[in-house]
């Protein structure tokens, strides 16, 4: 069992989409969630070489600055035919203006360069690493993954990031075509489908339940 969370918690993100999903996941647990952006906390440089390492950097920075427990997410899209890219650099592929339409075009162009047109050649997975950090420096980390294939053109305008081109295994609609409950809702309303939901189930069992 992990250290328990209660009271006020910082969600260490400046990403509006991640903030919405994290608040949705935390809501049933009675946790008062405030974002790093709302507190005016700086965004630390993500110098880690893994999702877990970058999540830890962000959570520790927020916890130490705010003197509150903090939860951070580092997540991204990994494409088999691209040797796991964009991976931890998923946000950077969208550029400084966070243009994920452009990022999806870059992924598609890279796949076409490798003659990856068939579903079997377009396997991909999303990873979400969640880190909980406390002001005393204690941290706990959890990682979730969901596998699927990449479609083109992108479908749907829900979600964020690469969601419109990601079709999870066993489903007929992309993350971009799913409602929030369908994508990351937990039972009994949802299936806990997304990478972030899967990591959150582990976190909640250890630190919230």
The residues carrying an active-site annotation are: 74
Asked if residues 75 and 90 have their Cβ atoms less than 8 Å apart, the reply is yes
Cα–Cα dist 106/20, whole Å: 26
Helix (H) or strand (E) holding 65: helix 51-66
Distance of CA 154 to the CA centre of its chain: 19
Distances (CA, A) of 75 to 16, 49, 125: 14, 12, 11
- Burial of residue 112, with CB atoms counted within 10 A of its CB: 0-12 exposed, 13-18 middle, 19 or more buried: exposed
Cα–Cα dist 88/167, whole Å: 20
Cα–Cα dist 123/44, whole Å: 32
Strands, sheet with 123-133, edge to edge from the N-terminal-most edge strand:
32-35, 8-11, 70-79, 123-133, 139-150, 166-168
Cα–Cα dist 128/120, whole Å: 23
């Amino acid at each position: 069992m992990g250290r328990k969370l209660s009271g006020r918690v910082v969600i260490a993100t400046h990403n509006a989409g991640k903030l919405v999903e994290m608040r949705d996941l935390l809501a049933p647990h009675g946790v008062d969630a405030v974002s790093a952006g709302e507190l005016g906390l700086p965004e630390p440089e993500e110098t880690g070489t893994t999702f877990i390492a970058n999540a830890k950097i962000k959570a520790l920075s927020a916890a130490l600055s705010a003197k509150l427990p903090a939860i951070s997410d580092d997540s991204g899209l990994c494409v088999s035919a691209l040797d796991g890219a964009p991976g931890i650099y998923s946000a950077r592929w969208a550029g400084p203006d966070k243009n994920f339409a452009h990022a999806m075009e870059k992924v598609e162009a890279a796949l076409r360069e490798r003659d990856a047109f068939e579903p079997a050649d377009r396997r991909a997975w999303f990873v979400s690493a969640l880190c909980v950090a406390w002001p005393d420096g204690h941290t706990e980390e959890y990682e979730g993954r969901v596998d699927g294939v990449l479609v083109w053109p992108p479908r749907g305008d829900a979600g964020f990031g690469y969601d419109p081109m990601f079709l999870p295994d066993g489903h007929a609609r992309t993350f971009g075509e799913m409602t929030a409950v369908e994508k990351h809702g937990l039972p009994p309303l949802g299936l806990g489908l997304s990478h972030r939901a899967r990591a959150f189930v582990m976190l909640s069992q250890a630190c919230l339940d």
